[in-house]
Amino acid sequence: MSAAQSKILKEVLSANDAYVAGFGDKKELALPPARGFAILTCMDARLDPAKYAGLAEGDAHVIRNAGGRATDDAIRSLVISHKLLGTREWFVIHHTNCGMQLFSDEVIGDLLEDNLETASFDGKKWSNPKHGHGSTHGHFIKWYAFHDNEDSVAQDVKRIREHPLVPGFIPIHGYIYDVRSGRLVEVPAATAGGKPV
């Protein structure tokens, strides 16, 4: 383990100690989300769904991946969220300045084929600081990169709406979180596509 990792591990465990000390009544929380809804959103470190959507522990399901995309696995979680845990209203929330807009499936495939360590971005192009010991496996993965935020939200809401395991009565709202203001901005075309049917 590197020195940096061990510092991070110490910080996380000490933060957890403080959290446990104030845990209190949260031991009584029920498993199903108390407020009956779920959010699918991006893993971007600047987004904190608990804060931007006003969630406390036990309130809602938050499903996160790179881009907040409606992948098979995100849909798996949403179906469990409704079918077994009772959520009845869903949000798809992407955001401005998403890293998923900065590459294509071909670009990440080529970068990984060359080398696995962190690449750098000069504002236009990605490049590898090191070369060798890459893998071609990246060419066989769908990475769900996208260019247009409004399109990506609308596509994902539509994919969820049309999924055979998703009941038509669940409203699916499409929003973009603005990383400059913290505001959730509706994508009307997405929300229209996500209306109950």
According to the binding rule CB under 5 A, does residue 114 interact with Zn ion?
no
Check residue 5 and give left, alpha or beta (phi > 0: left; psi -120 to 50: alpha).
alpha
Out of 38, 39, 40, 42, name the contact with Zn ion by CB under 5 A. Answer: 42
Q: Which residues, at least 6 apart from 126, have a Cβ–Cβ distance to it below 8 Å?
A: 102, 103, 107, 111, 119, 120
Q: Which is nearer to Zn ion, 42 or 145 (CB)?
A: 42
Beta-strand relationship, 60-65 and 126-127: unpaired
According to the binding rule CB under 5 A, does residue 60 interact with Zn ion?
no
Instruction: Pick the closest to residue 39 from 188, 181, 173 (CA basis).
Output: 173
Q: Which is nearer to Zn ion, 85 or 107 (CB)?
A: 107
> Nearest distance from residue 145's CB to Zn ion, in Å?
11
> Nearest distance from residue 51's CB to Zn ion, in Å?
16
According to the binding rule CB under 5 A, does residue 44 interact with Zn ion?
yes
According to the binding rule CB under 5 A, does residue 156 interact with Zn ion?
no
Residue 96: phi, psi to the nearest 5? Answer: -70, 155
Q: Which two tokens stand for residue 103?
A: 């590459």
* Residue showing tokens 């060798």: 132
Query: Of 94-102, 103-111, 130-138, 181-189, which segment contacts Zn ion by CB under 5 A?
Result: 94-102
Q: Which is nearer to Zn ion, 63 or 98 (CB)?
A: 98
CA dist 58 to 25, 30, 50, Å? 11, 7, 11
Instruction: Pick the closest to residue 173 from 73, 72, 41 (CA basis).
Output: 41
According to the binding rule CB under 5 A, does residue 111 interact with Zn ion?
no
Query: Of 27-35, 40-48, 107-115, 180-188, which segment contacts Zn ion by CB under 5 A?
Result: 40-48
According to the binding rule CB under 5 A, does residue 153 interact with Zn ion?
no
Q: Which is nearer to Zn ion, 44 or 156 (CB)?
A: 44
- Give the binding site for Zn ion (CB under 5 A): 42, 44, 98
